[in-house]
Amino acid sequence: MGLLERFENGDQVALARIISRVENRRTGYQDILARLYAHAGRAQRIGLTGPPGAGKSSLVFRLGELLSASGKKVGIIAVDPTSPFTGGALLGDRIRMQDLSLDPNIFIRSMATRGSTGGLAEATRDTTMVMDAFGFDLVLIETVGVGQVELDIARACDSVVVVFVPESGDAVQAMKAGLMEIADIYCLNKADRDGAERLVLELQSVLGLRQRTNNWEYPIIQTQAINNIGIDDLWQAIKNHREFCQSDTSPEDRQKERIANDLLTIVRGKVDRRLRSVLRDSETFEKVVADILAGSTNPYSAAERLVAELSTALTS
Amino acid sequence: MGLLERFENGDQVALARIISRVENRRTGYQDILARLYAHAGRAQRIGLTGPPGAGKSSLVFRLGELLSASGKKVGIIAVDPTSPFTGGALLGDRIRMQDLSLDPNIFIRSMATRGSTGGLAEATRDTTMVMDAFGFDLVLIETVGVGQVELDIARACDSVVVVFVPESGDAVQAMKAGLMEIADIYCLNKADRDGAERLVLELQSVLGLRQRTNNWEYPIIQTQAINNIGIDDLWQAIKNHREFCQSDTSPEDRQKERIANDLLTIVRGKVDRRLRSVLRDSETFEKVVADILAGSTNPYSAAERLVAELSTALTS
């Protein structure tokens, strides 16, 4: 039996192999994506992000347990940070995650760090689609931090949970500019620790300032992942957010929106790759730089020439 | 006398008007940029970034005083955060900044927040270029936080100073994934406060892990901006970084590199704007989405059709 056939029969080994092919851009990966796309579009995609040490892995673990117990099939993607700084999850977390992976309703995948940040977001999106096509009800995507990759990944999710801990009072300040804005749901983990109440108040005051572009009331859920407390509430908030998002659009419109977004992302990726190669390799580029250096033109006027060059490359 | 002539004669009122035109993309702004570009390329561009409350404005203020006293002309750009959350600098800071603006060697500009984040980074880059062309020796750019705008702005700088305070032990954790990587120089401000020593040690251990792609030794400078302590050291570190960067390339190669980067950024911006309008408005796009919805094609195969459509739009 072929790999795709085994995949379609629900074989998790085939799923793992296909993800590896897609992740490593091995020959034929695009044909695989093209074939699987028709099966995708049903899974709920949930991003969990926040600073290192906030307990995201533990929350994912608890959510996985809860969902599996109620018969849901759950794919989990742990995106390693691209930063060489971050040490990743504690060993204990990893071990518990591995226990979870023995559950037949659960499939866990860790995305390899790669130099090209654009590549990581793209590979994560493709892996999510493959898991979706495989038939998971939910895909949970755990990312660390506040880089562009995390924002790109979060944008491709249906709901984004930003995880805090009481100790991150200052982190809230630091993250105001970036991470807070992508949250649909705020989760205060380790809520039994000192400072939890103060941080909830701080968050509430910040949320009061958040411009409401819609009528969604941003919930702040308090959890203690390690003691398995508050996980129901978190799951309820995620369900509420899904219902909220579905309340004013038809299923067909949502499908169209998803397709349009996928299409835009894929086209943009293609154009950007060609742009880089055309610009960096072209004689025109070299010549234009020399002309600007000589003072006979400037980048603003010369850009048009290069856009024309790119368009030739796109048609060829 | 025309606006550009007055600009070229060193009239700061003309400079302010030209920046407004460029920032607001008023008719003719591209001609202005095209004309001024030939005069740019001499200013040293220094980015200062870090969490709100770290004292970046105070540091910029002290650096401005120091540099002006030694006869340097300094342009300062304060980039307001795009986030509706962040309140910006304290009133006291703003007042002191305004005092500084009476110094004839100093020109201060605050960039307006705008919805489109791409727009803010672009406008900041253009404003930097205009200040450079005006004849400033240095342009100091103050940004808040860790969003994509800040990263884009930082990338366009010659040296990036990331500012911390002793209280931001957790923030260091939170920012590992993003902000730390863009730093050329680490500045621990409010270094007289409790926890300074611990944070320096923490930073040093993190820096030990930082992959050295070059031989630059990342300095950690301790300052107390409010007491005017350590500003000399910070300036010395910035000068060292400039010398380090210039040590292995010729001035012509550096010019070429700068031109190539400017050109790439401008072309990419142009292509991306057309991509959005072509894709979103085109009948082909609508049709392709409908075809994918009907299952007769998929985004991976259909993307090529849209790339062809884009190329037609680029040539027209």
Q: What is the pLDDT of residue A88?
A: 39
- From A222, A248, A274, the end of a domain falls on A248
Quick one: tokens of A3? Answer: 């790999």
In a domain, A266, yes or no: yes
What phi and psi, each to the nearest 5 degrees, are found at residue A163? -100, 130
Task: For residue B114, give the CATH number of its domain.
Answer: 3.40.50.300
Across the interface, of A52, A178, A209, the residue whose CB is closest to B84 is A209
B176 and B265 share one domain: no
- Residue ranges of alpha helices (H) inside A38-116 are 56-69, 91-100
Determine the residue among A35, A80, A85 to mutate to test chain B binding: the one whose Cβ has the most chain B Cβ atoms within 10 Å: A85
Residue range(s) defining the domain that contains residue B28: 1-39
Domain boundary (A220, A248, A276) is at A248
Split at pLDDT 50, 70, 90, the class of A32 is very high
Are residues B273 and B285 both part of a single domain? Answer: yes
Residue-level pLDDT at B145 = 61
Chain B hits for A175, CB-CB cut-off 8 Å, are: 145-146, 174
Do residues A4 and A83 share a domain? Answer: no
Distances (CA, A) of A242 to A115, A160, A207, A233, B4: 34, 11, 20, 14, 55
Q: Are B71 and B105 in contact (CB under 8 A)?
A: yes
Strands, E assignment, chain A: 44-50, 74-79, 106-111, 138-144, 159-164, 185-188, 220-222
Domain closes at, from B248, B274, B298: B248
Q: Is residue A118 in a domain?
A: yes
Q: How many CB pairs below 8 A link A and B?
A: 233
Nearest chain A CA: its distance from B70 CA (Å): 31
* A181 DSSP assignment: G
Low-confidence ranges of chain B (pLDDT < 70): 52, 80-98, 112-118, 145-149, 168-180, 206, 208-214, 280, 313-316
Please tell me whether residues A11 and A132 are part of one structural domain: no
CA distances from A168 to A199, B55, B169 (A): 8, 19, 9
Task: Give which of B169, B172, B167, B171 is closest to B192, Cα–Cα.
Answer: B167
Q: Do A157 and A264 sit in the same domain of this protein?
A: no
Residue A262 has pLDDT above 60, yes or no: yes
- B138 and B63 together in one domain: yes
d(CA A314, CA A272): 11
**Are A100 and A221 part of one and the same domain?**
yes
CA gap B84, B81 in Å, rounded = 8
A165 pLDDT above the threshold of 70: yes
Domain count, chain A: 3
Q: Chain A residues with CB inside 8 Å of B37's CB?
A: 292, 298-300
- Measured CA to CA in angstroms, residue B60 lies from B129, B187, B231 at distances of 19, 12, 10
Residue A244 lies in a domain: yes
Does some domain include residue B77? yes
Comparing B239 with A263, the larger pLDDT belongs to B239
Q: What span, in angstroms and rounded, lies between the C-alpha atoms of B299 and B31? A: 39
Mean pLDDT score across all residues of chain A: 81
Residue A20 has pLDDT above 80, yes or no: yes
> In this structure, is residue B81 part of a structural domain?
yes
Q: Are residues B125 and B232 in the same domain?
A: yes
d(CA B112, CA B82): 9
Does residue B112 share a domain with residue B240? yes
Q: Is B110 helix (H, G, I), strand (E, B) or coil?
A: strand
Shared domain check, A153 and A18: no
Distance from CA of B108 to the nearest CA of A (A): 23
Number of H helices, E strands in chain A: 13, 7
- Subunit contact A173:B171, Cβ cutoff 8 A: yes
This complex has an ipTM of 0.72
Work out the number of other CB atoms within 10 angstroms of the CB of residue B271: 24
Q: Is pLDDT at A130 greater than 90 in this prediction?
A: yes
Q: Do B85 and A262 touch (CB under 8 A)?
A: no
Closest C-alpha to A73, from A48, A105, A119, A37: A105
* Predicted pLDDT of residue A230: 97
Assess whether pLDDT exceeds 90 at residue A169: no
Residue written as token pair 């040093």: B204
E strand or H helix at B106: strand B106-111
User: Which strand ranges, in their side-by-side order, compose the sheet holding B159-164?
Assistant: B106-111, B74-79, B138-144, B44-50, B159-164, B185-188, B220-222
Is the CB of A206 less than 8 angstroms away from the CB of B85?
yes
Count Cα atoms within 13 angstroms, Cβ side, for B45.
21
C-alpha span between A239 and A236 (Å, rounded): 5
Contacts (Cβ under 8 Å, ≥6 apart) of A273? none
Roughly what angle, to the nearest 10 degrees, separates helices A251-281 and A117-134?
Answer: 150
Beta bridge partners of B31: none
Interface contact B259-A171, CB threshold 8 A = no
What is the arithmetic mean of pLDDT over A200-216? 70
Contacting residues of B for A146, CB less than 8 Å apart? 146-147, 174-175, 177-178
Q: Is A254 a member of any domain?
A: no
Do B178 and A145 count as a contact with CB atoms less than 8 A apart? Answer: yes
* Domain-located, residue B254: no
> How does residue A149 score in pLDDT terms, banded at 50, 70 and 90?
low
Question: Residue B314 region, left (φ>0) first, then alpha (ψ -120 to 50), else beta?
Answer: alpha
In a domain, B110, yes or no: yes
Instruction: Check whether residue A90 and residue A156 sit in a common domain.
Output: yes
Residues B182, B298, single domain; the answer is no
The identity of residue B154, as a single letter, is A
Per-residue pLDDT, averaged over A281-310, amounts to: 84
Whether the CB-CB separation of B32 and B18 falls below 8 Å is answered with yes
- What is the per-residue pLDDT for A116? 41
**Sheet order of strands, A138-144 included:** A106-111, A74-79, A138-144, A44-50, A159-164, A185-188, A220-222
